[in-house]
Structure formats: structure tokens, C-alpha cells
A and B are shown apart, each in its own frame.
Chain A
Amino acid sequence: MKTLIIGLASIILVGLITGMFVYENRDEVKLPQYQIDTEEPENNPNATTQTEPQQEDLWPVDGEEISYSLQNEELHITYDKGKSWVTVPVEKDKLFAGEYNGNKQSLIDTSYILTEKRAAFLYAEGANWESQTVGIVYSEDQGKTWEETIVTDSFPALRYRKVDFLNDQFAYVILSGGRTMSQEGTQPYLSNDGGKTWTQTNTPETTRLVSDGAFINEKTGFLSYGTINPEQPDLYITEDAGESWEMASFQMPKKYEAVFVTAEMPVKEEDHLAVLVNQGPNGDYLGGKVKGKFISKDNGKTWEFSEEVQPSEEQ
């Protein structure tokens, strides 16, 4: 027993004294970035490999042939299901600038185009949150060359953002921002030269939050408002490329009043336009997923109810 206690005590004492030497002579713990700053690459050939974060293998975000990846804090695109990659010359954070609440694992749905013919990504930059530059970085040769174009050099914190090309020449961008609770500004921009230059259009007289917007041709465009407690569709239409806007009127059957409240984007069907009107964020009619389909024969100015659409029937 005595030996055990003395043995233990000796080990502890020796351990503590050694520990004291180690503790006194250890290097001071430094901030990670400080270590990088002070290392001279010339004197340390391994500096680059030591300080660079581990690069992980890229994989397409959705497993598609034409896809992208946001791994390693960069945007890469692939045209062959991830066998080869091209880095998009834009900082990842700029793709999510403004009022974004997501995990930055995938791009904001409507903020980019990635097709065989065209890759285009909306971004915003600038230190001043209330006045940022919004631009597009795009490539028409699958990422071999890239160009940048400014859509607007002053836009407040982006909330909604959408870019689309209808053909080689005509493209539109719809931005909203500067949200103060339930009010914000919404601004469409049009390009007739394949995205090289952009012109700001007029806007409807409303500061409600935009829910969607689109142009279906060079002249006709729509903006749908009402993401907060909407009570009826609030759809605006322009037939002169955004020069003037008027509110579309819906002939809403009494049964569906205050049920179908948020218009989605109209699409061309045979000789008329069709639009689905959903139930908004609080809808609970038949489970909340059923939408109302409306038809317009006057290019979107007036809409007549056509049928209820079950979620599975959506085109």
C-alpha cells in the first residue's frame, strides 16, 4: 500500500514538473489568420499546402448533366455530369447578397440560367447594403469565356431576383428590395441585345411585396404581388415593354373569393393565356394546394375562371 501511494505521488510530481516546463515553453496560441500572415512563402515551400483549406471533390448539386456546384466556396459549372468543371468568375457571397435566408448550398431558383447555350448568374456587390450594384456574369460558350454586365449600379438589399432570356436578344431581370416589413420596391429591367445593356422600365404603383414576375414576349410582362395575407390576385400587366402597367381583373366566382389569392405567371396556351392562382401562404381550401386556373383571351387584361387544378395535375 505504502509503495503504491509513494509511487503514485512520485508519478504525479514528476508529471506536474514536466507539465510546467511544457506549459512555460509552449508556443503562444495564435489566431488562424495571423499564422497565415506571418508565414513567409519563400522560407517555407510548404506554406501553400499548409494554409489552403482542404479542397473537396466537386459533385453536381442535382446530379444532372448540366449542373453546378457551390462547394469549396466557389461556383463551378459542369456540362458533363461532373466529369469536368469550369469555375464561374464570381464570388459565392455575391450570389446571395441582400436579404437571403438559406444555406447557400444551392443557388436561388430564379437567379440564374444554366443551359447548353447560356450560363448567366445574377449577383450583387458593394459595401453599402442600401445601394448595391447588381450585375450578371454570363457565358455563351459553356464557360470558356465570361462577360460581366451591370444591370443597375444602385439597388437596395435584394429580396426577390429573377433573370430570364426569352431568346438570343431579349432578356429581363426583375428585382425587388429595400423591404421594410411589408413594403418594398420592385423593378424590372429589359435587355434587347442579349444582356449587354439593360434599361429600367416603369413600375406599377404598388409597394407590396412581389411574388413573381415574367415577360412572355418583348412587349408583354406581368408582375404578381401579395405574399402577405393576400385577399385577391394582384396581377399587373404591361403591353408596351414596361412603359405602362395596368391591373388585370379577375372574374372570381363567389365561391373562390379570398381562396385563390396569388397569381402565378401566365403561360401561353393555344390561342389564349392561362394562369394558375394559388391560395397564398395561409390558404387552407381543400388542404391548401388546389389552385384555380384562369383563362384570358385579351392578352392578360381580364381573366375568367376555368377550373380547379389539383396539385398533381399541374403542368
Chain B
Amino acid sequence: MKNNKGRKVFGWSLLLIALGFFCLQMGSLFVQARFDASYIDDRLFYILNMIIVICLVLSIWLLLKPAKKITISLTIIFALFVIANGVLLVNRMEDTKNILSVSPNWQHVLSIKQDVQTKEAVYYRSYYGILARPKERLPYEMDGEYQVEWLAKDVAAFTYKATDQSIQQFIATYGDRGSGTSYYYVGGQTHGVWQAKDTKVINDQEGISITHNGETEVFDWDHIEQFGTLAIVLKRNNEATWTIALKENFEVHSDASRETVGNIALYKASLKESEPILLNYQGEKE
């Protein structure tokens, strides 16, 4: 008796889950068509389909206890459906490579989709978690290798190898350190001398010089590219070399009389794992 009750509760729960996901799936399809959006990861559609169908077949089996023949035919229908979705999923993965990374605080998702044939990659901006709209095309075609590192909870550095074998960086930013109503230059805001253990960054009128492990590199302003209002990429020979990102505690001031507050992160553009270096403000250049 008790066993029977448990079975029913479980069955109804599965049916509700299936129904819930079904509504979500249909709602998303409508929104996607209406607002020219897509799933943040194309695989989600098929995975949700499979979850719905599996929940559905289990709930029917638990709640209706159908005769053996019906059970077998139902299972075959649903299995075919799951297999069809599996095949479409694999097909999709062959066409489009999805790159996803969730921010450390789970608030943002970096989504990049690459057309496997043309090697073109497009950065998607997420809306309501699972939906996304294309924001911009990455300037270089992607070779395949990449690395994602969150430099702050709203700054993701996407390092990738371009088809011309150069290392490029795209920085996805999700916010602002100012009032949110104005644009500012990250280079201008980070003027001064910054220091970590064996790393020193000097940002002055001529450009930015970086001394790391005893080696100094200088980048003039023509070779510094800003992303959003949170990060800059320092380039040499048309390749990304370093990224400087404003940390969460960095305060943007339009008023020069205010002291620089907060840290910046320095991150090497490399396909190998590397840790961002946290730098402290030391003052203006002597």
C-alpha cells in the first residue's frame, strides 16, 4: 500500500517535471522566434527534449501500469524520439561549436558559438539565463584552441588561436565601474604605477610598460584596445599579449582629485593555464 503511494507521488512528480520543462521549451521557442534569439547553448534544446520524454515515459509507467504490450510499444516510440534527438544533437555539434563559461558568481554566462565549417565565431549575450542573442563577431577566425578565464566576476577573457596561428583575445564585459551612464577610458583611469610581487605596470602618457619576471615590454596607446569599460588588451605584432581588467573594487572617478581606489588584474594572453596577477596602486610615476 505504502509502496503504491510512493510510486504514485513519484509518477506525478515526473509528470509535472515533464510538463514544466515542456512549457519552458515551448515558451523559449516562441521567444526565440519572436525576438530573434537562440538558446545560449544549441545542445540545450535536444537535452531538454530527452529529459521531457524520459520523465514522461517513466511517469506513464508508474501511474498507469499499462499492459506489457502497450509498455513495449510506448517505450519504443519514446526511445525512437530520444535517439532522433541524440542524432540531431550530434549533427548540431558537428555544425556549431558551443563554448560556455559561467562567471564565478553564477550571474553571467560567456557564450561563443563557432561555425565549424567557416571557423567564424560569434559572441552571444545571454538573456534570462538560457536565451542569448548574437552581439558581435570575433575579429579573427578561430583555429579551435581556446582558454577562458574570469578576471573579475563580470570580466571574462577569451583567449583563442586564430587561423593565422596568432594568439588573440576577446574580452566579454558585463557591467561598468562608473555610474553606468557614461563611457570612460580604462587606460586613462588606470594611470600610475601598479605593483605585485614580481610584476610592475607603469601607465603614463606614452603608454603602458609591463615588467614581469625582470623583462620589460612597452605598449604605446595605438596598440591598446579597449573592451567595454572594464578591460584593455595590449597588442604586439597584431597579437594579444596582456590584458588589464578593472577588479570589482576599482572605483572610476571623473574627478582627477580623487584617489585611485581598487585593484587591477593583469593576465597573460596564452593558451596555457595562467593565473591573473592582482596589482596594487602605488601612486603616480615619479
Show the binding face of A for B, using Cβ within 8 Å.
1-2, 5-6, 8-9, 12-13, 15-17, 19-20, 22-24, 26, 29-32, 34, 99-104, 128-130, 156-157, 178-182, 209, 227-229, 281-282
Q: How far is the CB of B61 from chain A (nearest CB, A)?
A: 11
Known: A20-B49, A99-B188. 18 other contacts (CB 8 A): A6-B60, A12-B19, A12-B22, A12-B52, A13-B56, A19-B29, A20-B84, A29-B37, A29-B38, A30-B36, A100-B182, A101-B183, A103-B182, A130-B205, A130-B221, A156-B205, A227-B257, A228-B257
Q: Are B133's CB and A22's CB within 8 A?
A: no
* Chain B residues closer than 8 Å to A178, beta-carbon distance: 205
Within 8 A of A (CB), among B66-96: 77, 81, 84-85, 88
Q: Are B134's CB and A30's CB within 8 A?
A: yes
Q: Number of B interface residues, CB 8 Å?
A: 52
Contact of B22 among A15, A30, A101, A281 (CB under 8 A): A15
Q: How far is the CB of A176 from chain B (nearest CB, A)?
A: 11
A180 to B204 alpha-carbon distance, docked (Å): 6
Q: Are B64's CB and A19's CB within 8 A?
A: no
Q: How far is the CB of B84 from chain A (nearest CB, A)?
A: 8
Q: Are B56's CB and A9's CB within 8 A?
A: yes
Given contacts A12-B52, A12-B56, contact A179 B182 (CB under 8 A): no
Q: Are B60's CB and A23's CB within 8 A?
A: no
Q: Are B64's CB and A5's CB within 8 A?
A: yes
A227 to B77 alpha-carbon distance, docked (Å): 77
* Chain B residues closer than 8 Å to A34, beta-carbon distance: 137
Pairs A-B, 5 closest by C-beta atoms? A101-B254, A228-B257, A103-B181, A181-B284, A31-B134
Q: How far is the CB of A65 from chain B (nearest CB, A)?
A: 28
25 of the cross-chain contacts (CB-CB < 8 Å) are A2-B64, A12-B19, A12-B22, A12-B52, A12-B56, A16-B22, A16-B49, A19-B26, A19-B49, A22-B33, A26-B33, A29-B32, A29-B36, A31-B134, A128-B222, A129-B185, A130-B205, A156-B205, A157-B185, A179-B256, A180-B205, A181-B192, A181-B256, A209-B256, A227-B256
Main DSSP-derived SS at the A contact region: loop
Q: Are B256's CB and A101's CB within 8 A?
A: no
In the complex, whether B122 has a CB less than 8 A from a CB of chain A is yes
In the complex, whether B178 has a CB less than 8 A from a CB of chain A is yes
A38 to B13 alpha-carbon distance, docked (Å): 49
Show the binding face of B for A, using Cβ within 8 Å.
15, 18-19, 22, 25-26, 29, 32-33, 36-38, 45, 49, 52-53, 56, 59-60, 63-64, 77, 81, 84-85, 88, 122, 133-137, 178, 181-185, 188, 191-192, 204-205, 221-222, 252, 254-257, 284-285
Contact of B32 among A26, A101, A227 (CB under 8 A): A26
Q: Are B257's CB and A129's CB within 8 A?
A: no
* Chain B residues closer than 8 Å to A23, beta-carbon distance: 29, 45
* Chain B residues closer than 8 Å to A128, beta-carbon distance: 221-222
* Chain A residues closer than 8 Å to B178, beta-carbon distance: 101
A102 to B252 alpha-carbon distance, docked (Å): 13
Q: Are A5's CB and B60's CB within 8 A?
A: yes
Contact of A16 among B53, B134, B135, B254 (CB under 8 A): B53
* Chain A residues closer than 8 Å to B122, beta-carbon distance: 31
A103 to B64 alpha-carbon distance, docked (Å): 63
Given contacts A5-B63, A19-B26, A99-B185, contact A281 B49 (CB under 8 A): no
A20 to B136 alpha-carbon distance, docked (Å): 27
Q: How far is the CB of B198 from chain A (nearest CB, A)?
A: 25
A182 to B257 alpha-carbon distance, docked (Å): 7
